[in-house]
Structure formats: C-alpha cells, structure tokens
Structure 1
Amino acid sequence: METIEKLFSFINDNAQKIEKEQELSYLDSVLEVLNAWLDGDNVPAGKVASKEDIRKAIQLAILKGMRENAQPNHQMTPDALGLLVGYFVEQFMDSQEKDGAKIKLLDPAVGTGNLLLTVMNLLQDRADGVGVEIDELLIQLAAAAADLTEQPVSLFRQDALQNLMIDPVDAVVCDLPVGYYPNDEVAKEFELKATEGMTYAHHLFIEQSLKYSKDGGYLFFLVPENIFESEQAQGLYKYLQKTAWIQAVIQLPSSLFSNKAHSKSLFILQKKSADGKPVKEVLLAKVPSMTNKQALEMFFTKVQIWKKEQK
C-alpha cells in the first residue's frame, strides 16, 4: 500500500497544482500529470512500481475526480468486481491459449480502462486488449493508464453500437451501460430492438459483443441483477437461446453496491460454435461477503468442482 499511496500523492499533488494554475477540472489535470509522466517530464521518485500499483494509484485519482464532479457516464468498475471478473476469465480461458497465441480481449464500454486493465494485469502478458469508448476524456485516461502499465491496448473513440473496425476477439469483458439507447436509427439494425419504445442499451451491447466474438468465444458481463425481469427480457432470452450458451450466473454481494437496487450479477456466455456444446449444468452461485474469507474459499472451491464436472 505504501507504493500506491506515494504514487497517488504524486498524481494528486501535481493535479491539484495544475487544477489551480490552469483552471482545469481535476480529471483533466490528472490526465496532464499522466501524460507528463509518460513523456518523462515529471516522474514519481523511488523504485519502479508494479503494473497493479500504478493502475490502483491512477484509479484512486480518477475516483476522486469523479466524486468531485459526478457525471452519469463517469463511473468506474470497483476493484472487487474487476478481480472477480478476472478470476472467471482465467478459469474459462485457460484452455483457449494455444501455440503461445495471446488472448484477444475486448471491452466495448472501456471507460477509463480500469476493468480491462485489472483483467489484463491478472492475465499478466497473456492478453492483448481492445477498448471502445465515446467519451473523449475517459478514453484519454484509459490510453494513459494502459501506456503507464505497459499493457498492449488498442482504443477506439466511437459509439460502440455502431460498426467497429476490429477483428473478432476471444473474449469480451464489460460492465454494461444500463439504460435506454437514444439513437433509434442505430438500434433498428439490431435483432434486440424493442418492438415498442426505446431499446435497452445493455441488451444491444450484449448483441454487439456476440457479433464481434469468435465462435466459441467467452463473454463476461456485469449485468443488472434483474436483467431477465424487464419488459424486454423475453426478447433477450430468445436471442441468447439462438446465439449463445449460458455458462454461469453469479450473484454478487449487495454490499458492493451503494444502492441495493443497483446490484449486479456476473453473466457468462459462450458464443455458439459448430464444434462446441453447452455445459452439462449452468453454474448458479452467489458470491459471499468479500470480508468472509472462509465463505469465499468455499465459493471458489465450488467453482473448481463445477469446472471439473463439466469436463
């Protein structure tokens, strides 16, 4: 923690100075600090930090900026969720690495890159990342964070629900943007467009992610806990029956969310393929409190048992 605290202090102190001198927002000032660090104009003193220490220090500074100037699209996936997603990516993708080829990993709502970089750091040097984000400031922060953690990430600034200039990927990780998608002209190109009224953006992100996944690829979504209880849920379920195999539905602790109504689950899919087949039994589980070490160990043991049984 000492290294993280020192790095955060370096970012924070310099950002506050820039914020005052140049009358920029705190987040814009953080970006200035990160770019100066990358250029070698102003670097933190002390020993070389790990990729995870750098990511966490950047995350703390960005979180501070988001709290000071809250905006609906400025949200970050908490570390606890990122680490859980990363654990399941490791479990499902361990058989996907062949001939030393790297895993191609997509986050179509990459934001500041925290979820993608958390997973890539867990996978160490086994993944290449691709991120899509429409917000200019967020994608610039993601680019700086990726460069400072020396992770190979290609970033595209655009609406992720329009045509993407990317090749199909091995896996998708995404904390799905929840709500209605405002561009009906784009939405009508999707199978999951609502028959009446506006379409859920999180449904369209699932369809888009499947479109840009390889056959047999895995998708790891953080979804609303009640995703199959909405008025558009039936269409989503029918679409998934046609295109994917459900692998797991993992209910996450409500204590991880500020409001129980915003609770999420981890929803894991595999895109259908000619030579694949569904799992014998979908993994249905609930993550215990993150502070209960014994219960967490039992949870991960259950996952390992399930994994062996599927083979």
Structure 2
Amino acid sequence: MEKFEQIFSYINEKTINYEQSENISFLDGILLALEDALEEKETWVGKDATKEDIRKAIQIAILKGMRKTSQPNHQMTPDTLGLLVGYFVEQFFEVHLKQNEISILDPAVGTGNLLFTVMNLLNGKVSAATGIEVDELLIRLAADTAELIEQPVLLYHQDALQKMLVDPVDAVVCDLPVGYYPNEDVALDYELCAHEGMSYAHHLLIEQSINHTKEGGLLFFLIPANLFETEQAKELHKFLKTQVWIQAVIQLPENLFASKAHEKSMLILQKQSKQLRAPREVLLAKVPNMSNKQALSMFFEKVQMWKENK
C-alpha cells in the first residue's frame, strides 16, 4: 500500500467508527479522526509521510464526506485546479521566489485544499499564509490538516467580507464562492455593491481581495466561466480597470466540470503600481484536456512565450 493509502485507511476506519458510535456526520467524524492523529503524532501512520501524501489522503476522506452531504458550501477545489493555480503562482513569482518568500491569502479557504496544494508546491517559499472561512466545520478541518502537514497558516473563522485583520499580501489565491451576498448592510461598504437588488458575493470578494493585496501583488482567482457576461459584469469591468491590470484569462477544460453551468476559468490580476507597467498583452489561453500530453505541453510553451514577451 502507498503511504497516502495507509493514511486514508487510518482516517476512513476511525471516521466510520465515530460516525456509527457517536451518531455524527462523516465530516464530523473526520475531524475527530484528525484530532486522534494529532494526539498520536509520534506513532501515527503518517509520521514519515510527505506533506502531499497527508494532504491527498485527507482530501480523499473529505471528498467522501462531502458526497454524503448536500450542503452547497461544502465543496473542495480539485487537485487538478489547485496544481494549475500553483503552477501560475510559481511562474509569476519565479524571480521573486529565488530571492524571497511570499505572503499569501485565501479569503474563502474552506478545508484549505487549494491553499495547501499551492503551499506544498512552493515548498517552503511562503513566509506567511492566511485563510478566512465562515463555516466552522470547514475551518476546523483546515486547521487540523495544516497542523498535520506542518504548514504555518493563520486561520480566521469569520465572514471574509466583513473587516479583516490581515496585512496586505503578495498573492491571493481563491476559488470564488458564487452567489448573492445576503448581508446588504455590509455590501454597502463596497464599490461593487449592486445598484439594485442583491450584490454578488464573488464580486465583493474580488474587491476585498484587491484591498488586501500589496501594490504590484498578484491575485489568482478561479471564477465562473460567465463572470464577464452577467448583468453586473459592466460594473465589475469598470472597477477592475481602475484597480488592477488583467494579466491572464485561462479557460479550463469543460470535462473537469459536471455541467456547463459549473464551468470555471482562471483570472489572474495584478494590483496596479507606479513602479510597474501593464502587460503588453493579456494572456488568453485555453487549457486542453489534461490527458492530452502533447496539447498540454504546447499550452505550457505558449505560457512561457507570453511570459518572455510581456
């Protein structure tokens, strides 16, 4: 058995026992299983495993738990997308990472899978990481995972659209939760507050993220594919022009998503700075089917060519 399979078996068996003996949900059972692992740190099966083995094993267990619930906010960024975001973070910070570490924020961290995938990929080059999450169960799962993979992360249990005590960061990564924002009083504090009706939470999160990014810092968002086609898109576009430069819009493969309505793209923004200039051209690209190695290689070549000419 591979190491991550051994870790998954450990978590899965303990979770099933807790689910039955305590009459709790599978996700709550995972939390208790992770707490057991933390208490048994000297003897538990994942003691000599890599950060990635532990993260993957926990991810598979959490995905199993999420399939058993129907809560729309209980979703996880798949590894394929996490690794793609991590690749672009590496590319944009390549020179910087050779000399310095970067600070990073995920304002909708969930169980932490996207943030931890990026951090593991950067391999010790993150000086400070912060995650914000409104769901108590998800942030507790993120906290236990962070401790088990030994990644230094500050986690805040709060609504990310309310006042955040977070210093500006070099990079934001976020799989934007999509939908309307229910707290209209808070929405009024944002430029992207809707003139009529309810505001989009994902628009407000983009604005909040920009507010917490250093000048010249970068933001890597997984966005709904139709972000710039909705009735509030005109206001969003106008706002972005005053605050950031669009560096890239990456269309993701359709086969990664259950339906057209769930399709996502990646949006990469850079907060404007007097010391820097806008890119000569925006990178517009489509990620091919991940199983097509030749097409994927050509995609990465296109990214490298754009990087050299920007």
Q: Gaps (5+ residues) in structure 1?
A: none
Per the TM alignment, residue 170 of structure 1 is displaced from its structure 2 partner at its CA by 0.4
Per the TM alignment, residue 95 of structure 1 is displaced from its structure 2 partner at its CA by 2.8
- In the other structure, the counterpart of 1:17 is 17
Residues 36 and 42 of structure 1 are in contact (CA less than 8 Å); yes or no, is this contact kept in structure 2?
no
Across the two proteins, how many residue pairs are aligned to each other?
309
Per the TM alignment, residue 99 of structure 1 is displaced from its structure 2 partner at its CA by 5.0
Per the TM alignment, residue 74 of structure 1 is displaced from its structure 2 partner at its CA by 0.3
**CA–CA separation in structure 2 for the residues paired with 1:282 and 1:95:** 20
**CA–CA separation in structure 1 for the residues paired with 2:269 and 2:96:** 15
Per the TM alignment, residue 260 of structure 1 is displaced from its structure 2 partner at its CA by 1.7
Is 1:122 aligned to residue 121 of structure 2?
A: yes
Residues 19 and 25 of structure 2 are in contact (CA less than 8 Å); yes or no, is this contact kept in structure 1?
yes
- In the other structure, the counterpart of 1:270 is 270
Residues 181 and 198 of structure 2 are in contact (CA less than 8 Å); yes or no, is this contact kept in structure 1?
yes
**CA–CA separation in structure 2 for the residues paired with 1:120 and 1:13:** 28
- In the other structure, the counterpart of 1:246 is 246
- Report Cα offsets for 1:188-232 as digits up to 9, x if no partner: 100000110000110000000000000000000000111010000
- In the other structure, the counterpart of 2:203 is 203
- In the other structure, the counterpart of 1:4 is 4
Q: CA RMSD in A?
A: 1.3
- Report Cα offsets for 1:131-158 as digits up to 9, x if no partner: 0001000000000111111111000000
The alpha-carbon distance between structure 1 residues 46 and 60, as it changes in their structure 2 partners (threshold 3 A), is: closer
- In the other structure, the counterpart of 2:168 is 168
Q: Which runs of 4+ in 1 moved over 4 A?
A: none
**CA–CA separation in structure 1 for the residues paired with 2:21 and 2:71:** 24
- In the other structure, the counterpart of 1:193 is 193
The farther-off stretch of 89-98 and 125-134 is 89-98
**CA–CA separation in structure 1 for the residues paired with 2:41 and 2:299:** 47
**CA–CA separation in structure 1 for the residues paired with 2:107 and 2:170:** 14
The farther-off stretch of 33-42 and 292-301 is 33-42
TM-score (normalizing by structure 2): 0.97
Per the TM alignment, residue 280 of structure 1 is displaced from its structure 2 partner at its CA by 0.6
User: Residue 83 of structure 1 aligns to which amino acid in structure 2?
Assistant: L
Percent of aligned positions with the same letter in both sequences? Answer: 61
Give SS of 2:240's match: helix
Is 1:53 aligned to residue 50 of structure 2?
A: no
**CA–CA separation in structure 2 for the residues paired with 1:97 and 1:239:** 30
User: Residue 187 of structure 1 aligns to which amino acid in structure 2?
Assistant: A
Q: Gaps (5+ residues) in structure 2?
A: none
Is 1:63 aligned to residue 63 of structure 2?
A: yes
Residues 104 and 172 of structure 2 are in contact (CA less than 8 Å); yes or no, is this contact kept in structure 1?
yes
Is 1:290 aligned to residue 290 of structure 2?
A: yes
Residues 247 and 270 of structure 1 are in contact (CA less than 8 Å); yes or no, is this contact kept in structure 2?
yes
Is 1:256 aligned to residue 287 of structure 2?
A: no
TM-score (normalizing by structure 1): 0.97
- In the other structure, the counterpart of 1:113 is 112
Give SS of 2:167's match: coil
Per the TM alignment, residue 3 of structure 1 is displaced from its structure 2 partner at its CA by 1.5
What are the within-5 Å matches in structure 2 for residues 8-157 of structure 1?
Answer: 8-40=8-40, 43-45=43-45, 48-97=48-97, 100=100, 102-127=101-126, 128-157=128-157
**CA–CA separation in structure 2 for the residues paired with 1:215 and 1:237:** 19
- Report Cα offsets for 1:4-46 as digits up to 9, x if no partner: 2111111000110111111121111101111111122795337
Per the TM alignment, residue 97 of structure 1 is displaced from its structure 2 partner at its CA by 3.8
